[in-house]
A and B are shown apart, each in its own frame.
Chain A
Amino acid sequence: MGKEECKTMLDALNKVTACYRHLVIALGSTSDSQNLREELKRTRKKAQELAVANRTKLTSLLKDKSISKEDRAEYERLWVLFSSSMDLLEVDMKRSLEIGQDFPLKVPTRHFIQTGMTGSTSTVAARAMSVQNMKYEADSNIDTADLRDLQAEICQVSQMMEEMEMKVQVAPWAVEAKQEAGAELKSNMSVGNSSVGVISICEEEPKDEEGGGGGGGDAGFASICAVVVFFVIVTVAVVLGYLVINMS
């Protein structure tokens, strides 16, 4: 059905937008490199393809006058999702252009900002492209050549957004969200224990570190541990008692 297709495509666009943002954040810092520029380029291209596909689908759906009211409300909600994604993408693209121009790769006197990030972002890009591993095949002047493409693409995206606004009459403020406050907590994503432990070290008081880290671990895991420990103690107590009784 149209709706399901739309939703999956929007999810994909969402994912790519998030990854793109992550990559742009790494731009200009010490984790920047030729690979990063290539990743940015490819993620961007993917984002654009998805955007175009989404747009055609959604405009065709919304232009259809014969759909029911609930359908229309749903499509409008999807439309708001789409346009917000595009907003983010556009801003990120513009910023990547700026930062890319400020931090060219090959100029030796231009040093990257020592932000502390040194790892590569290939996994993020792989996630965006939905591939297992990224293969890099770009040539060395990617930063300058890419920037020109980027400018053209930014123009394209802005034009596309304007067209969208013109063609489809959707009032974004009239859309009601399905998720309520705190909905993000209800997802079934596992919060990595290790990352939580390490991250909380950045909190102010050092004494929060380990306590916060350990305590913040998964509640289920802690309870299982407690139960296991309890049983072990009970077993030991029983064995000791038995031995004592036997002795005496």
Chain B
Amino acid sequence: MVVNAEGIPIRTTLDNSTTVQYAGLLHQLTMKARSTVRDIDPQNDLTFLRIRSKKHEIMVAPDKEYLLIVIQNPCE
């Protein structure tokens, strides 16, 4: 799903409630991750975020204004 800077899901393939949940939570997490990376090295920036859980993998590609979130089932 594609989420904008304010957390509004622009385009999504999941149902609304899941989308809203993911959007809100991941947006905050991405902000936190980005600020962490920037704090350690101001020249650095977050390019990609991968969260691997038991059931699937959540991948977040951040941009200045938008956020691309993909949930994938790994091939195992």
**Does A pair with B?**
no
